[in-house]
């Protein structure tokens, strides 16, 4: 029998090779000599569990995966009748033989239970290896023009893997806050990758298509195109369900359910959204809970349950590492400030604004910076800082209108209109009303909301608009953007 290498060294070798790392690459990542790693793997130096975890860290392997890999080595040796823990001298004393017999018996007894765990381990190892290869492929694709990307994925199967599709979806999510066009381009590319043949299980490819469609639908939602988003999510539902038997657990179900919940919130179907979020939390295996709680906060906010929304957001706060996920922390803080503003708790909101501004400046994304200014203007108005509030809201309303984001432009504009009316600036109110009505017509905003804004426009033209009317209209539009059947009742 050949000399057995130490089990931890074998586990390190297996993990490294499964993920495609050479000894040299791992040594460089660790800043250690390559021959030292070789000695650990070959048993020339003693390798402890703690040291194994340290050496595997650059490869992004979890402690659970390491433990499963070591257990796999043990099971293989036990089933083959080989000592699990070989003696340093290549001999097994009587006590060790007894230990091995117990281990073999335990392995036999737990074989049926262990198979699902092993299957899950292989899925994790495969996923890690595929994602590592995909990252290199995606980095190459990103450097190309959109037309060149499409040409490349059609010509080479390397760019049609599920993991490259997943990477395109991730990039779409990252791009959405700053560039709706770029986010849409990446999502459309993901859909095209998923539709092209790649030699994988056809059922899994259907599931992958559904995953990509969900990200495409999310882009339409972010851009306010709720009707087209609904159509895309209809395709997602069909493909996702059809492909379910072919998915070994590679794709993040909690995420796509959470994205559909976001759409249902925008459509005013907040109860449906909360059900989807419950489903997502039940299947979450990828640490999505913080995002799901943020979404839950949004659903509750749109139901007018501001205290419940604040509670959900506070539960999400300790789950977010601001250094690693500054954008998510910005989203959470922004939503929290908005709910505090609804409750007119402006002093509490004001205390959170410096961090929100710091995060927005750090991220440097245009829409985030704009929405931060909006929160600052809203809080300033609530605290009576009129000059600062007017300057901020004029800028925000103008920029949102330029970007053709109708409801947000109207909401910010109506907050500004209140301040104008309080100062008797009726001419500016009239001009603002005309601009907002033009945006609503151009964007084909639903009939009830258009009718409500028309009432304001007529009142502004006659100089009969009041602060009470504007505030009622603002509260109505906030709800009506998600409920197209809701009518505005004139005072």
d(CA 95, CA 106): 17
Q: Using pLDDT thresholds of 50, 70 and 90, give the confidence band for residue 119.
A: low
Helices (H), 156-225: 162-175, 180-195, 202-222
Which has the higher per-residue pLDDT, 40 or 98?
40
pLDDT at 330: 95
pLDDT surpasses 90 at 449: no
Half-sphere exposure of 28 (CA within 13 A, CB side): 5
Architecture of 269-372 per CATH? Alpha Horseshoe (1.25)
pLDDT at 156: 86
Q: Which two tokens stand for residue 248?
A: 């070994």
What integer is the mean pLDDT of 461-481?
Answer: 84
Q: Using pLDDT thresholds of 50, 70 and 90, give the confidence band for residue 116.
A: low
Which region among 44-48, 101-105, 222-226, 484-488 has the lowest average model confidence (pLDDT)?
101-105
Q: Helix, strand, coil % (nearest 5) of the chain?
A: 75, 0, 25
pLDDT surpasses 90 at 456: no
pLDDT at 82: 55
Residue range 357-403, pLDDT digits in tens: 999 999 998 889 999 999 999 999 999 999 999 999 999 988 888 88
d(CA 420, CA 225): 31
Given a contact cutoff of 8 angstroms between Cβ atoms, the answer to whether 209 and 194 are in contact is: yes
| Number of C-beta neighbours around residue 290 at 10 A | 19
CATH 1.10.260.40-classified regions of the chain: 7-109
Domain 137-251 bears CATH identifier 1.25.40: yes
CATH 1.25.40.10-classified regions of the chain: 269-372
pLDDT at 384: 92
| Number of C-beta neighbours around residue 384 at 10 A | 9
Instruction: Specify which of 289-303, 440-454, 460-474 reaches the highest per-range mean pLDDT.
Output: 289-303
Residue 128, CA distances (Å) to 15, 134, 158, 197, 353 in order: 10, 10, 16, 22, 39
Residue 449, CA distances (Å) to 59, 147, 407, 477, 482 in order: 53, 40, 9, 7, 11
Residue range 211-262, pLDDT digits in tens: 999 999 999 998 878 889 999 999 999 999 999 998 888 899 999 999 999 9
Mean pLDDT taken over the chain: 84
d(CA 179, CA 199): 33
pLDDT surpasses 80 at 131: yes
d(CA 219, CA 224): 9
Q: Which residue has the tokens 């340093």?
A: 88
The CATH label, of 3.40.50.970, 3.20.20.120, 1.10.260.40, 1.10.287.110, for the domain at 7-109 is 1.10.260.40
Query: Is the whole model's pTM more than 0.75, yes or no?
Result: no
Given a contact cutoff of 8 angstroms between Cβ atoms, the answer to whether 88 and 9 are in contact is: no
Q: Using pLDDT thresholds of 50, 70 and 90, give the confidence band for residue 345.
A: very high
């Amino acid at each position: 029998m050949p000399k057995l290498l130490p089990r931890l060294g074998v586990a390190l070798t297996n993990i490294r090779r499964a993920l495609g790392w050479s000894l040299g690459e791992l040594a460089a990542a660790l800043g250690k000599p390559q021959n030292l790693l070789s000695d650990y793997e070959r048993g020339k130096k003693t390798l402890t569990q703690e040291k194994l975890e340290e050496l595997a860290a650059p490869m992004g392997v979890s402690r659970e995966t390491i433990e499963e890999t070591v257990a796999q080595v043990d099971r293989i040796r036990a089933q083959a009748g080989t000592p699990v823990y070989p003696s340093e001298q290549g001999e097994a004393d009587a006590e060790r033989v007894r230990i091995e017999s117990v281990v073999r018996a335990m392995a036999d007894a737990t074989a049926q239970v262990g198979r699902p765990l092993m299957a899950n381990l292989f899925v994790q190892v495969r996923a890690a290896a595929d994602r590592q290869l995909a990252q290199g492929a995606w980095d190459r694709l990103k450097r190309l023009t959109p037309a060149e990307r499409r040409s490349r994925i059609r010509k080479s199967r390397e760019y049609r893997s599920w993991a490259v599709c997943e990477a395109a979806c991730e990039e779409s999510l990252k791009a959405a806050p700053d560039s709706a066009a770029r986010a849409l381009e990446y999502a459309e590319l993901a859909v095209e990758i998923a539709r092209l043949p790649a030699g994988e299980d056809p059922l899994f490819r259907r599931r992958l298509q559904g995953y990509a469609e969900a990200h495409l639908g999310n882009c339409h939602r972010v851009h306010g195109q709720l009707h087209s988003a609904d159509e895309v999510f209809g395709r997602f539902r069909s493909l996702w369900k059809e492909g379910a038997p072919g998915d070994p657990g590679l794709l993040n179900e909690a995420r796509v359910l959470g994205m559909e919940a976001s759409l249902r919130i925008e459509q005013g179907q907040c109860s449906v959204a909360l059900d989807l979020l419950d489903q997502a939390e039940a299947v979450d295996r990828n640490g999505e809970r913080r995002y799901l709680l943020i979404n839950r906060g949004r659903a509750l906010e749109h139901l007018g349950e501001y205290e419940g929304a604040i509670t959900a957001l506070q539960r999400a706060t300790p789950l977010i590492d601001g250094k690693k996920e500054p954008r998510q922390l910005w989203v959470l803080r922004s939503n929290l400030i908005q709910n505090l503003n609804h409750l007119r708790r402006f002093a509490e909101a004001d205390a959170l604004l410096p961090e929100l501004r710091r995060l927005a400046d750090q991220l440097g994304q245009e829409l985030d910076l704009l929405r931060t200014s909006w929160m600052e203007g809203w809080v300033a108005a609530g605290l009576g800082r009129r000059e600062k509030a007017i300057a901020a809201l004029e800028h925000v309303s103008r920029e949102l209108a330029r970007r053709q984001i109708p409801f947000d432009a109207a909401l910010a504009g109506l907050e500004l209109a209140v301040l104008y009316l309080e100062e008797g600036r009726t001419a500016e109110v009239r001009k603002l009303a005309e601009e907002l009505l033009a945006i609503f017509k151009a964007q084909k905003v639903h009939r009830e909301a258009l009718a409500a804004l028309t009432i304001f426009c007529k009142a502004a033209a006659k100089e009969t608009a009041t602060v009470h009317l504007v505030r009622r209209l603002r509260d109505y539009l906030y709800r009506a953007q998600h409920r197209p059947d809701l009518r505005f009742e004139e005072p």
